[in-house]
Structure 1
Amino acid sequence: MGETALIYFDGGSRGNPGPAAGAAIIEFTGQRHTFTRYISHATSNVAEYEGLILGLEKALELSIQQARIMGDSQLVIYQVTGLWKIKKLHLRPLCEQARSHLSNFVKHELVWIPRGQNTLADAAVNECIDLANTH
């Protein structure tokens, strides 16, 4: 059926809410792609969702059909998979957007990983915020 891509996502906010970013690392066909999205003012949960959504959008642009998607946000992983309820209404549209993107994959798996296994995506988030704040 083809290769399964590895997608790592993360998000972070300085001030929570404050300057924020989402990031995704996609490993596919022996290549690593890094994507970031700056958000001028957001909570860390919104930034985590933005990292996931960014990763899914870019994976679909790369014509990826199978993905193992990993992040260190239990909230995002468990809300998207339906294990946890969405209590904050402002997160509902982000969750729905992520679920909509996931429906375009032939096969996908969402997995929570410890923060220590998500260092590349975390570094990309911090670099994105740093770069945005120096301009």
Structure 2
Amino acid sequence: MVFKESFWTLSFDGAAAGGKGGTEIVLTRKSGEKLYLSYKLDFHCSNNEAEYEALIWGLIAAEKHSIKKIQIQGDSKLIVKQVSRQFVLKEPVLATYRTTIQRLLDKFQKFEIEHVPHSDNKFSDAFTTLGVRVDIPEEEVTIVIKKRTEPSIILENKDLPKDLREKILE
């Protein structure tokens, strides 16, 4: 009997309000098993940066769960089209995010990325908005909602010691 590894689906969403953001990630196995993650971005970011952060943390979570094949779905047409290189980057700050995502995608055997309409992403929108709006004291951060104080792109900074990069991922 040959085991055929199926695709997991990664749904991501990010939002920013008042300069700070939140992310929502759902990893779904074909069998229906789901993993929900949310991150409060406690640093100044735009909506686009929050969307990129969501995708980055979703890919990191997928890699940590040894997922090899992934179908990515996001409701940000801009991010999906930039990652698939159908849209040109106009904001220089987003170039590092796209580079980080390309490096993460190289770790998967196969991936697909597609845009889904906001109307098909209502749960993600609500969950993300909650992460942006709710102030979470440091001592109450849980495994479901984690607070991030630095942009994820610092993980790609090779000048940081490896143990510090690993600590950031915890």
Question: What is the TM-score normalised by the length of structure 2?
Answer: 0.73
Higher strand proportion (structure 1 or 2)? 1
Specify the code of the residue in structure 2 equivalent to 1:35.
L
Alignment of 1:91-102 (within 5 A): 91-102=94-105
Q: Does 1:27 align with 2:28?
A: yes
- Separation in 2 of the partners of 1:26 and 1:122? 15
Structure 1 stretch displaced more, 33-42 or 72-81: 33-42
Deviation at 1:118, TM superposition (A): 1.4
Deviation at 1:30, TM superposition (A): 2.8
The partner residue of 1:44 within 39, 42, 47 is 47
> Structure 1: any 5+ residue segments left out of the alignment?
none
Instruction: Kindly provide the CA deviation profile for residues 78-131 of structure 1, in whole angstroms up to 9, marking residues without a partner as x.
Output: 111111111111101111111111111111100000001112222221222233
The partner residue of 1:6 within 2, 6, 9 is 9
**2:13 alignment partner, SS class:** strand
Equivalent in the alignment of 1:109: 112
**2:48 alignment partner, SS class:** helix
Runs of 4+ in 1 over 3 A off after TM superposition: none
Q: Please identify the structure whose Cα radius of gyration is greater.
A: 2
- Separation in 1 of the partners of 2:23 and 2:85? 22
Question: What is the TM-score normalised by the length of structure 1?
Answer: 0.91
- Separation in 2 of the partners of 1:134 and 1:83? 37
* Aligned-residue RMSD, C-alpha: 1.3
Deviation at 1:134, TM superposition (A): 5.4
Aligned length: 132
Are 1:4 and 1:68, in contact at CA under 8 Å, matched by a contact in 2? yes
- Separation in 2 of the partners of 1:11 and 1:104? 23
Are 1:34 and 1:124, in contact at CA under 8 Å, matched by a contact in 2? no
